[in-house]
Structure 1
């Protein structure tokens, strides 16, 4: 089985705490050419002290189990990923192969590429925010139980969503929807009882795929009053915890300075 591919040239792990706890982020740079702190991602992970609150696991390409197959798993809270490419290269229909699994609270991803085939992004639990990210997959490529806000685009043929479990809630608002979205919009996953508990809605979307005239009867075309809650970042509380890009960095791991001397 081939190893997973990490396509970014520079990997930055920012072990950041909320502003009240830290004035500067801890910056570790991985560069295969030897110009960073480490040449390998795993070496950077191994350098983090065992008592550090930021827990990140990097594994190889795997499949068959939605929890254990992830290329990258983030269990800690207050993690920020910027400009990362995370990929699970396993491709077989009907077999789960997660690229990114996130289960911490208050996680944000900016400009990231998350690539896989089935169940690409397991947005498992917690409150999460995605902006300008590219998420690719063929089957259920975004799934999970988290309260998340996505500001992303898409392509190819797809539906807007289907209920993995009861009380699934998905809303598309003020979104450009191309003709990749099938006219029915949503799917009940072959269980006629599931639509009774879901909340699937659209509000003032536009584009060739935004025509709601052929949507399933249990989806909703939301009113101004109904959409108000969803048009702010309060849906995941992220307005209070999303932090701007750090401008000041520090290096405190002794292992970094020791390792850097090996690059000369």
Structure 2
């Protein structure tokens, strides 16, 4: 019994140490340069060089350039920092999409997949170029030019942070899949459900751009998938803006308790008058939490919004602040500084 107790205590403290990744200290830095002027030419080879169950912060500095590769941070490699040299300079790009490879899974075809907890990325653009070559306003029934999910990023590790990053795609650009995520000063581009998933996520001062490929068919910024009252997930947008072409809805319900809040966001005129869509959950609207608080701009007029738009008082709004919604344990305050 003493042996098992000692083993439990050891595992508890070991895992606790791994969770904070050594606080604000970075143990060492790896440099990637696709021109060959560093230890690694590809980002994936640099990630692969890090030990499994790593429990101290390791920084991978990625030199400016276009990296055409699929990048995966597996679950067994936490405590990784990906640092680029500006989102317009360091770009990770690929063209995979659902049905293209041997797997037909939407999430398996992402340009960037981060499955580990404790991951930080800064000053990088993650891009899926699958839709890029398609002409504007092609016929929806043209099977040779079918729009399919094509993810730029799939994030399903807890305590994931993105500073000044870009996410560029068309359908299902950013799979905000699972865990607590913080996006600050990011650029997110797409048209159909291009921020979607079950993440418990906070978007601060992010620029969202809807492409508006079809004049008479509005897109959807979000498709949030909260599925019960006990599910802590939801998307909170603080500040930032939504711009673009054509028309776009703020969101539609991927699951029966979908939750999205916009606070102080600037809406251009592309926002549809109704703003929101129940999708496959007509009759469950009372379960949704869709709120717009102190938003500004020509698209912020809520007089013609859906009748089930949520009204939040100050106390309820506080539940969706950065501190309350994703940072109750203070994990964001203990991160290393990135340039």
Of 49-58 and 83-92, deviating more is: 49-58
Tell me how far 1:190 sits from its aligned partner: 5.0
Residue 194 of structure 2 is matched in structure 1 by 141
Of 119-128 and 83-92, deviating more is: 83-92
Indicate which of 154, 162, 178 corresponds to 1:101: 154
Of 182-191 and 161-170, deviating more is: 182-191
Residue 246 of structure 1 is matched in structure 2 by 337
Of 52-61 and 101-110, deviating more is: 52-61
Q: Retained in 2: the 8 A contact 1:97–1:116?
A: yes
Q: Deviations over 1:3-51 (max 9, x none)?
A: xxxxxxxxxxxxx962645732432221123333322223212322344
Q: Retained in 2: the 8 A contact 1:113–1:135?
A: yes
Indicate which of 140, 163, 167 corresponds to 1:114: 167
* C-alpha distance 211-93 of structure 1, shift in aligned 2 (>3 A): farther
Tell me how far 1:80 sits from its aligned partner: 0.4
Of 90-99 and 169-178, deviating more is: 90-99
Q: How many residues align?
A: 233
C-alpha root-mean-square deviation of aligned residues, in Å? Answer: 2.6
- Secondary structure of the 1:234 match is helix
Residue 13 of structure 1 is matched in structure 2 by none
Q: Retained in 2: the 8 A contact 1:24–1:246?
A: no
Q: Deviations over 1:126-181 (max 9, x none)?
A: 00000011111111000000110012122213211111111111111122222121
TM-score calculated relative to the size of structure 1: 0.79
Residue 128 of structure 1 is matched in structure 2 by 181
Q: Retained in 1: the 8 A contact 2:23–2:335?
A: no
CA distance in 1 between partners of 2:24 and 2:335 (Å): 13
Residue 274 of structure 2 is matched in structure 1 by 184
Indicate which of 70, 80, 86 corresponds to 2:126: 86
Residue 56 of structure 1 is matched in structure 2 by 73
- Secondary structure of the 2:44 match is helix
Q: Retained in 2: the 8 A contact 1:129–1:238?
A: no
Residue 3 of structure 2 is matched in structure 1 by none
TM-score calculated relative to the size of structure 2: 0.62
Indicate which of 202, 215, 233 corresponds to 2:323: 233
* C-alpha distance 244-48 of structure 1, shift in aligned 2 (>3 A): closer
* C-alpha distance 211-25 of structure 1, shift in aligned 2 (>3 A): farther
Q: Retained in 2: the 8 A contact 1:186–1:215?
A: yes
